[in-house]
Structure 1
Amino acid sequence: MTVGGRPVVACEVLGSAGRMTATIEPIDRTPRSGWQDAGDAYDGRTIVRRIFRDYLRPRLRLIAASITSMVFVAATTGALPFLLQTAADRIFIGKETALLWMLPLAIIVVMALRSLAEYFGRIMEATIGNGVVADLRRALFARLVSADLGFLQRTHSAAFVSVFANDTQIVNNAAAQTLSALIKNTLQAIALIIAMMVMDPVLGTLVLVALPVAVMLLGRQRKRMRSSVDRTLRGAGDLSSLVSQTLTGVRVVKAYDQERAEGIRADHVIDATLEANMQTARARAATGPVTEGLSGLGFAAAIFYGGWQGIYGDLTLGAFMGFMAAAMLVYQPLKQIATLQNALLEGTIAAKRVFAILDEPRRVVDRPDARDLAVSGGGIRFEDVSFSYDGNQPVIAGITVDIPAGRKVALVGPSGSGKSTFLNLVLRFYDPDGGRILIDGQDLRDVTLASVRRASALLTQDPVLFDDTVAANIAYGSPGASREAVIEAARGADADGFISAMPQGYDTPVGEAGGLLSGGQKQRIAFARAMLRGAPILLLDEPTSALDANAEARVQATLGTLFEGRTVLMIAHRLSTVKKADLILVFDDGRIVETGTHEELVARGGLYERLHRTQLAGGSDTGEIAVDPASGGVPEQI
């Protein structure tokens, strides 16, 4: 059904008051960034100049070779009407037998040369176009992997994939294939127009008299097409996002019986994309009839005038046939020129989206005089640090804290209190809005990003594995690590046993996002990766949360060796982990409200003691969420 022209899902809900019907509107769950609405920030001329400057100018030799072949194709095409005129006048009317053998041979030679020139032109065109696509994709990939996390998180990853895969190819079509075809057809049209004017200027003028009208009409058509092309490209990104997030959350979709609801949402996106595609198709389809209709008027006038001159004037049959051959040949390139403007428009709009990503400013960058971080111990200091993701609501509010080198520090507090953001700032995923962060007395904004990242190892609660082998995932971030070192790290993470039992051992592929492994296996491989890294600062987000009790006990036994001589920050939900910390930082609403050891904080009777009491009230030391009856049923965790 539809509401206000939009499709909705109708469902029945049975409650105490009886049966009622509810509707669920399709929700656009695709976050949008500024680059997706950057249409007015770039004009067509700027885009064309940039494509030429950055991607075509380095290939000027190939372009010159391609244009040379196009000129040759145009010249040989322009020669065909004269050969036809000669055949009609001197063979059919003049009965010159010598030309009966020579003229067909000349036509064969001309067409063979034309074919060779066209073949090499297409090869050059493909070389240029594919090279432009490769350069664009390299630049996009480099920009995406170096982009600020905030920029990446504002848009679904599938929207970037759509630009990477689709829009760059459209730019290729416009920058190389379309531009090349436009030059080739323009040169052919010029050569044939010259041939027509040489044969009969009046006939040539009659054929071309409708050309300015066609240009004017097609210009109006282009304006109407611009918005539909932009919506088509956006629709492709939205559709990619929809498919990606549905596949990612397919277990939740099925568990909550939402297949039909997701289908309705898909219909909404697909229908919107279909309408934009059809608008673009209608605009494209109108180009041919406009050109053909106006060309037909020109041909009719030329045939009338040519016939009149043939009857009452001195126009020969050969001259008329040669002219009409030129007129018929010029029709195709002129039609192609009219059609190609649509492809150029699509390429320009796609290029705007590509360049909007490439030009997205980075907030977290190296200063010109940045030096490498020199880590002597790994001491961390926050000085009146504040930070917000949106510039309005602070997530970290005026934190000042010293973390001595070599200490194990647990970060605890309610969900959303700022613990993960605290770790993100240490890694310099973001720069603080106020205050500064120092490692061994060095402001992180004064040192290089690469050296900050080399000084730390991150292990998240939800382990990230890449579609590669087990060994490659363990060695990720430790280039040049030997197989022996990889195995030793796996043993330390209690992973060597199950890895060795795999069909290909350490060379076994883990699948997309580690999908061929269990949650505990993925976590242990990620743990081994952090151990192999050997960085002086370890950042952990409850690293043993996915392990069973036996595996956790074995891994915990190795933590002493891993932590030795290193500064450790760990977001901890399990009491067993928190108790082993040298220092506990208790977060609440973006601030550190308590610091101390476990015993000191319990004795103090503050927020930590309440969190500790509610966990014990749940009767578990596994970090499960427990509910304090006094909290009104709101779950909390350490």
Structure 2
Amino acid sequence: MVSNVFSDSSAVDRIDDSLHASNLSTWQVVRRLVRDHLLPRKRLLIGCFAAMGISAATTGSLPFLMQMAADDVFLGKDERMLYVLPLLVVILVGLKAGSEYFATVGQAYVGNRIVADLRVEMFERLTQADLGWLQRTHSGRFVSSFMNDVLAIREAASLAIVALGQNILKVVMLTGAMVYMDWRLSIVAMITIPFAIRVLGRQRRRVHVSATKTFQETGDLGILVSQTLTGIRVVKAYDREEHETERARRIIDRTLEFIMRSVRTKASSGPIVEALTGVGFALAIFYGGYQGIHGALTAGHFMGFVTAAMLMYQPMKAVAALQTMLQEGVAAANRVFGIIDLDSRVREVPGALPLKVTSGEIRFEQVSFAYRDGEPVLRALDLLVRPGQRVALVGPSGAGKSTVLNLLLRFYDPQSGRILIDGQPIADATISSVRLASALVTQEPVLFDDTIRANIMYGSEGASEEAMIAAAKAAYAHDFIMNFPKGYDTPVGEAGGLLSGGQRQRIAFARAMLRDAPILLLDEPTSSLDSEAEAQIQKALDELLKGRTVIMIAHRLSTVKKADVIHVMEAGRVIESGSHDELVALGGAYARLHRTQFGSNDDTPKHGKPRRAGAASA
């Protein structure tokens, strides 16, 4: 992939990734970092800059000591200065060393504190972000931003801002010393600086583009690693190890190319400044030597000037390198701030009040919703779930069943219509209170890489030990938990991988029982289980449903037979409603689903009055 170490490959390019990124300029990024992260720590920063000032002042005084050594000791033969000057040098060097230590530690803390703050802000934004955006963007990109982008911002903050200030102070002090000694000689020495600034300005743009592409490729690598580990059984079963390795190699090679583009640009900054500085230095030697030959400049004066010029060389070179590093930070900041600044579509209205759930009635009134424009999922849906009623939603994939739960939990807001719980529009209530009113159990139970105890108590951390054990017993989970050597302190592994499917689901039920919410939402909680595990789970499910308003989604009709009302959905609408027996007798969509799953020999209903579409809200 990379054919030449010292030149860019024109064949390597890429389009932008799906991660939302802002378009802030360098000045806007710097101003935001200063306002949000540096100014709140102004006392520490003042101390750092004071230390930098001392370091710069001691550096700026060294040329004068050199001049005094040449003029007073070597030429003037002043023996007293022979004792004074070394003592001054020791004092100044000690001050310089101490101040640089304080400045280095201080700026390192500021930089790493910024990393910590940005990671907290990003994590908070991700937990509050719209579910649709999170599902469209692979988790590998977020991990890349957490691990890589923020580190580049740290370099920009702690080095390219704070250290840039330190080097600029040194340049200012040394320039002042040079001008004080001989302003004409100073002009000659610095005549090439404008040319260096112009060249570095062009390089800054190249570094910004290359850094952005590097971060994007790193995100691609994170995606590939995540996907490969998640699907490693399939990768091995289909003998695709070599294929996945080749995909990784291509991404890593592209990442290397973009990194090297930045490296080549940054590596050229120092030599360019060095070459131009050398030209200015040569002109200064010529002009100073000419002045010295004609008696207009003393040797000590010239040595002091040359010392200042040589001391200024390293800070100027550092400034040239740091400005390219700043561009890497700007590129990373645009990605990180793009996440932090992302506005959520689901917002609380001003003055939102907590939802007060008394009986648990749920009502959808003419609710329409689309995940993407022009692709409606719900169409003027009317739905009524009476307090304590068990309602099942069935129908083909894409009918809008899961969307009903998503809207009820305010993962999204409908484009039109409204949703009410006990007569209160949930759009006018606080988001937290809406979600606390429900307990959700999904098809794939979500367990965190922690203990069984922590997973059951997730969302109910204030519950007592007795209440947790009671919930586990009600979910028929206590017996198998106690068979583990560590009992409730048994780790479940990543995504609960150390437990069986039935065990994971019963722990999820125990968590929902401990939550003790008045509304229970079940999204195909038994569809991934075998018949034996489903029979065990059904006991826990029956216990969980007692005294709650329930909306359940199921493809297996065996799990919805006991529902009070079954709504058959198709294309975002309810097309049939009734009990199991009523809908089988109706001979419509539900009956066709029933025949598909059970054949024609299943029990037939003996009574009931079926209802057609429109009865959902009766």
TM-score w.r.t. length of structure 2: 0.92
**Aligned-partner SS, 1:388:** strand
Deviation track 1:121-144 (CA, whole Å, cap 9, x = no partner) reads: 122212322222222222211111
Deviation track 1:219-258 (CA, whole Å, cap 9, x = no partner) reads: 1222233221221122222221221122112222222222
User: Would you say 1:497 and 2:479 are equivalent positions?
Assistant: yes
The residue number in structure 2 matching 1:130 is: 112
Distance in 1, matches of 2:301 and 2:602, equals: 100
Greater CA deviation, 122-131 or 451-460?
122-131
The residue number in structure 1 matching 2:85 is: 103
Report the RMSD for the aligned CA atoms in angstroms: 2.3
User: Would you say 1:537 and 2:519 are equivalent positions?
Assistant: yes
**Aligned-partner SS, 2:382:** strand
Gap regions ≥5 residues in structure 1: 8-26, 622-638
Distance in 1, matches of 2:495 and 2:338, equals: 29
The answer on whether the counterparts of 1:385 and 1:400 sit within 8 Å (CA) in structure 2 is yes
Letter in 2 for 1:32: S
User: Would you say 1:305 and 2:287 are equivalent positions?
Assistant: yes
| CA 1:140–1:293: 2 relative to 1, 3 Å | same
User: Would you say 1:32 and 2:18 are equivalent positions?
Assistant: yes
User: Would you say 1:388 and 2:370 are equivalent positions?
Assistant: yes
The answer on whether the counterparts of 1:196 and 1:327 sit within 8 Å (CA) in structure 2 is yes
The residue number in structure 2 matching 1:315 is: 297
Q: Which aligned runs of 4 or more in structure 1 are off by greater than 6 angstroms?
A: 618-621
Distance in 2, matches of 1:527 and 1:619, equals: 33
Distance in 1, matches of 2:367 and 2:238, equals: 42
Distance in 2, matches of 1:401 and 1:318, equals: 94
The answer on whether the counterparts of 1:6 and 1:268 sit within 8 Å (CA) in structure 2 is no
User: Would you say 1:258 and 2:229 are equivalent positions?
Assistant: no
Alignment of 1:54-65 (within 5 A): 54-65=36-47
Deviation track 1:303-354 (CA, whole Å, cap 9, x = no partner) reads: 2223333333243332222221111100011111111111111212221212
The residue number in structure 1 matching 2:417 is: 435
Residue 590 of structure 1, aligned match among 572, 585, 595: 572
Alignment of 1:605-624 (within 5 A): 605-617=587-599
**Aligned-partner SS, 1:579:** coil
User: Would you say 1:274 and 2:246 are equivalent positions?
Assistant: no
CA drift at 1:464: 0.7
Deviation track 1:408-442 (CA, whole Å, cap 9, x = no partner) reads: 11111112221111111111111111111111111
Distance in 2, matches of 1:53 and 1:100, equals: 50
**Aligned-partner SS, 1:400:** strand
Alignment of 1:152-301 (within 5 A): 152-301=134-283
| CA 1:141–1:554: 2 relative to 1, 3 Å | same
User: Would you say 1:417 and 2:399 are equivalent positions?
Assistant: yes
Letter in 1 for 2:128: S
**Aligned-partner SS, 1:396:** strand
Distance in 2, matches of 1:389 and 1:379, equals: 26
The answer on whether the counterparts of 2:208 and 2:330 sit within 8 Å (CA) in structure 1 is no
The answer on whether the counterparts of 1:203 and 1:306 sit within 8 Å (CA) in structure 2 is yes
Distance in 2, matches of 1:120 and 1:46, equals: 29
The answer on whether the counterparts of 1:235 and 1:269 sit within 8 Å (CA) in structure 2 is yes
Deviation track 1:489-517 (CA, whole Å, cap 9, x = no partner) reads: 11222221221122321112212222222
Residue 459 of structure 1, aligned match among 441, 457, 470: 441
| CA 1:115–1:394: 2 relative to 1, 3 Å | same
Distance in 1, matches of 2:234 and 2:412, equals: 31
User: Would you say 1:150 and 2:132 are equivalent positions?
Assistant: yes
The residue number in structure 1 matching 2:613 is: none
**Aligned-partner SS, 1:432:** coil
User: Would you say 1:524 and 2:510 are equivalent positions?
Assistant: no
Letter in 2 for 1:533: R
**Aligned-partner SS, 1:279:** helix
CA drift at 1:548: 4.8
Greater CA deviation, 499-508 or 532-541?
499-508
The answer on whether the counterparts of 1:527 and 1:543 sit within 8 Å (CA) in structure 2 is no
CA drift at 1:550: 4.4
Letter in 2 for 1:267: R
The answer on whether the counterparts of 1:523 and 1:547 sit within 8 Å (CA) in structure 2 is no
| CA 1:170–1:271: 2 relative to 1, 3 Å | same
Distance in 2, matches of 1:31 and 1:461, equals: 31
User: Would you say 1:69 and 2:51 are equivalent positions?
Assistant: yes
Distance in 1, matches of 2:545 and 2:599, equals: 31
Distance in 2, matches of 1:182 and 1:91, equals: 36
Alignment of 1:339-378 (within 5 A): 339-378=321-360
User: Would you say 1:44 and 2:26 are equivalent positions?
Assistant: yes
The answer on whether the counterparts of 1:520 and 1:546 sit within 8 Å (CA) in structure 2 is no
CA drift at 1:186: 0.6
Distance in 2, matches of 1:526 and 1:103, equals: 78
Distance in 1, matches of 2:291 and 2:261, equals: 46
Alignment of 1:72-87 (within 5 A): 72-87=54-69
Deviation track 1:510-543 (CA, whole Å, cap 9, x = no partner) reads: 1222222222221111111111111111111222
Distance in 2, matches of 1:586 and 1:256, equals: 39
Task: Report sequence identity in percent.
Answer: 56
The residue number in structure 2 matching 1:483 is: 465
**Aligned-partner SS, 1:409:** strand
| CA 1:31–1:123: 2 relative to 1, 3 Å | closer
Distance in 1, matches of 2:523 and 2:198, equals: 64
Gap regions ≥5 residues in structure 2: 2-9, 604-618
Distance in 2, matches of 1:550 and 1:174, equals: 59
**Aligned-partner SS, 2:297:** coil
The residue number in structure 2 matching 1:603 is: 585
TM-score w.r.t. length of structure 1: 0.89
Matched residue pairs, number?
595
